[in-house]
Amino acid sequence: MLAVVGLLAASLLGADASTEAARSELARERRLLAADAIRLADLTHRLEAALSDLGGASHAVAEAVGRSESVDEVTRREDALASVEQDVRSLLDRRRLLSERVVDRRRHVALLELEIQAKRPGDVLNGRWAVVVDPGEQRGLFRLSLQGTIVSGEYQLEGGYSGSLRGTLVNDRVRLESVDSKLGFNAIYYGRLSQDGRELSGTWEATNLGGTGEVGGGRWKASREEEREESP
């Protein structure tokens, strides 16, 4: 029995390490993608400038020939045109390679996100969450359950508010709709799950109009509560 427990623990630790490695790789790829996007924009601006120079150099050659300028002058302008043409070809090649790399990085990021999604334990949201809703520091409790990407649950908030929750979890983004037992569909919670799976935080917006005719909203956060074992 102890051997089985040990194998299960080792398996879980291995899965956690694998998921953490995928998260680190995803963060690295996102940083590199952002840097490559900046380089691509810079190369694009430089290419646009070089193409403008190419047009000017080509026009200068045509003018020199049309005015029957000296062979030396026409040759000088042809050499300048050739230099600009070389710059344009170089920039085009560099931009093409960088653009292909950006596409590859985007694909890699998408695959890593799917990998992390598949490795995420099914109980990542399951359980009790202590909630604080602002403005007003209204406190309460969410009970959540996750099946695939579908979230369901119930809530209780100070002031006698209670009802059901429904929504989704995609990657680390959560969206919850609250249906109050008295008010009906009354709010949407948008949030992000922390990397350690211990906290949720984000914004919320009311779906029903208040007395002023304005839609309310604010921020919210939740912390996972340890499940208490029932006394025998």
For residue 210, the model assigns a pLDDT of 52
3-state SS of the chain is: CHHHHHHHHHHHHHHHHHHHHHHHHHHHHHHHHHHHHHHHHHHHHHHHHHHHHHHHHHHHHHHHHHCCCCHHHHHHHHHHHHHHHHHHHHHHHHHHHHHHHHHHHHHHHHHHHHHHHHHCCCCCCCEEEEEEECCCCEEEEEEEEEECCEEEEEEEECCCEEEEEEEEEECCEEEEEEEECCCEEEEEEEEEECCCCCEEEEEEEECCCCCCCCCCEEEEEEEEECCCCCCC
For residue 139, the model assigns a pLDDT of 96
pLDDT tens-digit profile of 151-192? 999 999 999 999 999 999 987 899 999 999 998 999 999 999
Cα dihedral sign, 136-137-141-144:
positive
Ranges under pLDDT 50 in the chain: 1-15, 211-214, 229-232
Q: What class does CATH assign to 127-225? A: mainly beta
For residue 56, the model assigns a pLDDT of 92
For residue 188, the model assigns a pLDDT of 95
For residue 6, the model assigns a pLDDT of 44
pLDDT tens-digit profile of 31-50? 999 999 999 999 999 999 99
Q: Which residue has 């948008």 as its token pair? A: 190
Please state the domain extents for the chain. 2-119, 127-225
For residue 118, the model assigns a pLDDT of 64
